[in-house]
A and B are shown apart, each in its own frame.
Chain A
Amino acid sequence: MKIRLTLNGEKITLDASRSDSLLDILRRAGYTGTKRGCETGDCGFCTVLVDGDAVKSCIRPAARADESAVETIEDLGTQADLHPIQAAFVDNAALQCGFCTPGMIMRTKALLAENPDPEKAEVREALSGNLCRCTGYENIVSAVADAADRLAAGDRSDAATDGGRQRKQCTACDYEGVQE
């Protein structure tokens, strides 16, 4: 069957079988930044945004994603032009092997869109579906707080998630305010 998505702001149609998950079709289409750690919805490595909500793509049937706006890690910044959340993860040493990182960042993006200034406990609660084996979580929690500050220092309205359409503006403005 054909799945029509707005993927990172672009209209795209992907082939899927009935048993395919959203994760399967994304990875097959080359969006390999989204990781597979369990296929049962328990690790969070496959987290993407679907219509702005953080979703574990391994347990979202591809068919159900038809006609939705999907945003993956590939839509955030580039290595030279990091999105503020990505920059916060780098600067807070919030990663080691990095296998959990794209999912953590997408989860963080959804959290901060909804709650731009979360308490530490709220961060821990919001990330509790995303496992990390390497860091002990300390620096990840700090990175999320730092990302909130960076976004607040930029233009708040651009932090909203819309499947990526406004992202470029958002990144651009955050750069001036926050980066280096």
Chain B
Amino acid sequence: MSRPDGPSGDQNAKSTSSTEPGSADGDTPDDVSSAAGRDAVSTAAEKRDARKIVTGEAKYTADYGGQFPDLAEAAVRRSDIAHGVVTDIDTSDAEAIEGVYAVLTPDSAGMPDGPYTSAGQSYPEPSPWDLRVLRRRVRYVGDPIAAVAAKDTDTARAAARAIDVTYEERPAVFDPDAAVSEDAPRIHDPDAVENVQSGADYDRNVEAHLAGEIGDVEAAFAVAAERDDRSVVETTWETPYQSHCVPEPHTTIARRDEDDRYHLVSSTQVPYHVRRQLAHLFDVPIRDVRVTKPQIGAGFGSKQSMVIEPIALALAIAADRPVKLEATRAEEFHAMRFRRPSRGRIRSVVTDDGDLQAIDMSVTTNSGAYGPHGMTAAVSVGKKPLPLYAGTPNLRLDATAVHTNLPVAGAMRGYGAPQGHFAVETHIAEIAREIGMDPIAFRRRNLIGEGDVETASAILKSGDGHGRRIRSCGIDECIERGKAAIGWDDVDQPPEDHRHRACGVALATQGSGIPGDELGAAHIKMNEDGSFILQTGAVDLGTGADTVMAQIAAEVLGARPEDILVQPSDTDVSPFDYGAYASSTTYVTGQAVRKAATEARDQLFAVVARLLDEPVDDLVAHDRAVHAESSGSSVTLEELGYASIYGDDAREQVMGEASYSTDESPPPFAAQFADVTVDERTGEFEVHELVCAVDCGAAINPDLARGQITGAMHMGYELAAGGELTFDEEGRPNVAGFRDYGMPRTADQPPLTPILVETHEPTGPFGAKSVAEVPTNAVPPALSNAIRRAVDVRITDLPITPEKVKSALDQRRESADDV
């Protein structure tokens, strides 16, 4: 407790603490290798925003609207056609509506017209610059053409509807295979796009194409053709558009502030990238833009894209007042960003003993109308799962990102990996069947393990030296614990003959940040009462990142997590951070926090060494005090807070700061299990349970880590058997709201069991790797594999529906009858 008149006791006197050290064996808290020695980081500390969330006081972007009495609401007029050119925009009716403050079109004065990317990546963005804020050339149903700011939402929407748009329609193409054909309509003019991605060929609607090889794949297939003890297995797959279904729609409040700068309060995962991208678009210095991230209603990658901020800012400038733009749910389902559909083929060579000799994977992804994340996500479809079997001597990956006249794909939790794991892990199951091996035994034989150096994740890089050493790998234990939890070895068959039950398995991996392309930073300073204020650029989207950062700092400083106050990300205040994506926050920013806290602790130790006349080497921090180990004397953090600031001799602000960047990106691992009963008459299936055992290194805050696993499985289950965005033959979305989309609800979400398998990643903060994405990856293949084992049909295109299972069963029966 803080007291205005100083800490209890004589702040300069030695006090002998009777408190027993909380950490075992006197380990310094940042040098521990097992959970036994960890303290604050391993507790299920209460999520620091939990109380304001349950009382309704947590403030999300839209909740700030009331602070601006002259706030205008905004609406966007979007293309109703899939492909064409806007020949005329008549705004006169809209402008005549009372209460309309501004109507913007691509031709309005001051409207930024340069190309940009919405990708929210580090500079220079790998994604093509192919977007304009408002567009005359429209390429999908949903392209923004005009925007309105008005006194309230109803007026803004009415005005947006009143804008009269005339189009010259062009033929559209919706299928990626059709899009690359000679006579397909051209969606982009290469002269109007800045694209640094390799293999772009806009004459064939190819946004990017990349291929890489390790070993000699063709030679392996040639050998297989000659030898009896080799099998060749080939499978195909297809995955659909998936919506993030972010609970809080994309929302931005933009205004010009009293210092004549642009200030945005925005639901973004990447405040710093938005600041830079906006400065570029609006042609102002970066210093003239400020982006504040309030409480966020989740992101999952959708808010890595800068989708609405430029429109809101342009309207705020035009209307000369604060403007709030909040996407509607219908816009969320067609005009924001999505998981990209994928399809492709895998061939492999395997020996009769079960040794993988070659894997050859080709992938086509559908970017939709524009290219954010096109190349990087397409290659991730292969690069993310293949390291599981990195010992395979011959690997080839060929990835193509194709444009169609459908909505814009972006980043989404897993980033290509869920598509890729569906491809690879159903393929692996088919190989095991082909050679008559148990699917787990076959995987184990070929699986990556601790100490291995894998190059598969660098398959597209030329030259040597891109190997990644695996320093922690708990996948064996993930398999064992998952098997036990799902009841792999004792599945009871239902009494009815037509119902069959089986378990399926699929493995998964991911990264922890983008190797060599991340930066996190932290600043921490001490208050008199022994608490600390921590500033990081880490962007807590609701995941609990701020809580995790507080726990890391607390562990170093011997404080309690609640003694560390974490400031939300704000580009004017927080140290730089690349933002919340690619599973980087705990691993990268967490290390910056650890370093900054260590620097502050070293300063504390210097103060204590003076006060107690003890050597610095003998000091440890735990239980809210710094202790001299030999003598047992100690000084509390609160005493130190006062002593450092108000001391008689030396006075200093205890504060630490650090940056962290790394070329490492250690993979977390997971084993996903599904338990399913299938009715072979109807194709209906019931999923009894989904179990995911995850090796995320040390689990910082196990409650939050488990929450990431269940939430990720929920999303994976939707991709496996639930939601799918479809379009009519004109490219118009069939999904306008939640009721058209199969997001699992409490009543139809199968039970989810998360298991944490702790390992120690030596390069991570207190042994941690990432956790948020890897459990998203393997529900679809685990479910497909379970159905295959239950009723002997393989579903290769998602989502898996009773109709697809039924038709596969019918086909199997027909072909059996033919024999």
Contact = CB atoms under 8 A, between A and B. Distances in A.
A71 B436 CA distance: 62
Contacts of A70: none
Interface in A28-51: 28, 30-40, 42-43, 45
A73 interface: yes
Contacts of B51: 79, 82, 86, 90
A115 interface: no
A93 B298 contact: no
B796 interface: no
Interface string B537-549: 0000111100000
Nearest to A74: B56
Given A95-B50, A134-B707, A32 B63 contact: yes
Given A96-B542, A137-B746, A32 B714 contact: no
Return the 7 tightest CB-CB contacts between A and B, nearest first: A33-B56, A97-B542, A136-B710, A98-B53, A99-B297, A73-B56, A128-B747
B625 to A, nearest CB: 25
Contacts of A139: 707, 710
B329 A38 contact: yes
Contacts of A32: 56, 59, 62-63, 66
Contacts of B44: 93
B62 A36 contact: yes
A37 B328 CA distance: 8
A95 B59 contact: no
B743 interface: yes
Nearest to A81: B55
B745 A128 contact: yes
B328 to A, nearest CB: 7
Nearest to A31: B56
A30 B66 contact: yes
B154 A133 contact: no
B110 interface: no
A146 B652 CA distance: 48
Contacts of A35: 60, 247-248, 297
A133 to B, nearest CB: 5
A1 to B, nearest CB: 15
Given A78-B55, A86-B55, 14 more contacts: A32-B59, A38-B738, A39-B329, A42-B329, A43-B329, A43-B738, A86-B51, A93-B703, A97-B247, A127-B747, A136-B711, A136-B749, A137-B710, A137-B714
A72 B56 CA distance: 9
23 contacts: A27-B62, A31-B56, A32-B59, A32-B62, A35-B60, A37-B248, A42-B739, A78-B55, A79-B51, A89-B50, A90-B47, A95-B54, A96-B544, A97-B248, A97-B542, A98-B50, A98-B53, A98-B542, A124-B746, A128-B747, A131-B245, A133-B711, A134-B711
B587 interface: no
Nearest to B244: A133
B249 interface: yes
A135 interface: yes
B154 to A, nearest CB: 6
Contacts of A140: 746
Contacts of A96: 47, 298, 542-544, 707, 711
Interface string A1-44: 00000000000000001010000000110111111111110110
Contacts of B54: 73, 76, 82, 86, 89-90, 95, 98, 101-102, 105
A36 B707 CA distance: 24
Interface in B465-523: none
Nearest to A96: B542
A39 B328 contact: yes
A118 interface: no
Contacts of A135: 707, 710-711, 714
Interface residues of B, number: 58
B50 A97 contact: no
A141 B62 contact: no
A125 B745 CA distance: 9
A131 B738 contact: yes
A75 B711 CA distance: 29
Contact of A138 (B245, B710, B747): B710
Contact of A98 (B49, B743, B746, B747): B49
A75 B706 CA distance: 31
A133 B412 CA distance: 13
Contacts of A97: 247-248, 295-298, 541-543
Contacts of A19: 154
Nearest to B716: A136
A134 B296 CA distance: 12
Given A93-B44, A99-B297, A128 B746 contact: yes
A55 interface: no
A130 interface: yes
B751 interface: yes
Interface in A100-151: 100-102, 105, 123-125, 127-141
B747 A102 contact: no
A77 interface: yes
B752 interface: yes
A40 B735 CA distance: 13
A34 B298 CA distance: 17
Contact of B247 (A73, A99, A125, A138): A99
Interface of A is mostly: loop
Contacts of B298: 96-97, 99, 133-134
A40 B737 contact: yes
A11 B44 CA distance: 42
Contact of A73 (B55, B66, B713): B55
Contacts of A39: 328-329
Interface in A55-91: 72-74, 76-79, 82, 86, 89-90
Contacts of B543: 96-97
Contact of A101 (B53, B154, B249, B715): B53
Contacts of A100: 247
A98 to B, nearest CB: 3
A136 B713 contact: yes
Contact of A134 (B247, B737, B746): B247
B227 interface: no
B55 A77 contact: yes
B55 A131 contact: no
A97 B60 CA distance: 10
Contacts of B49: 98
A35 B329 CA distance: 13
B52 interface: yes
B663 interface: no
A166 to B, nearest CB: 19
A46 to B, nearest CB: 12
Interface string B287-316: 000000001111010000000000000000
B47 A93 contact: yes
B485 to A, nearest CB: 14
A71 B54 CA distance: 15
Contacts of B541: 97
Interface in B239-258: 244-249
B57 interface: yes
Contacts of A129: 745
B223 interface: no
Contacts of B55: 33, 73-74, 76-79, 82, 86
B58 interface: yes
Contacts of B46: 90
A141 B746 contact: yes
A78 B54 CA distance: 9
B200 interface: no
Contacts of B714: 133, 135-137
Contacts of A136: 707, 710-714, 749, 752
Nearest to A88: B54
Interface in B733-764: 737-739, 743, 745-749, 751-752
B704 interface: yes
Given A19-B154, A32-B62, A42-B738, A133 B247 contact: yes
B746 A127 contact: yes
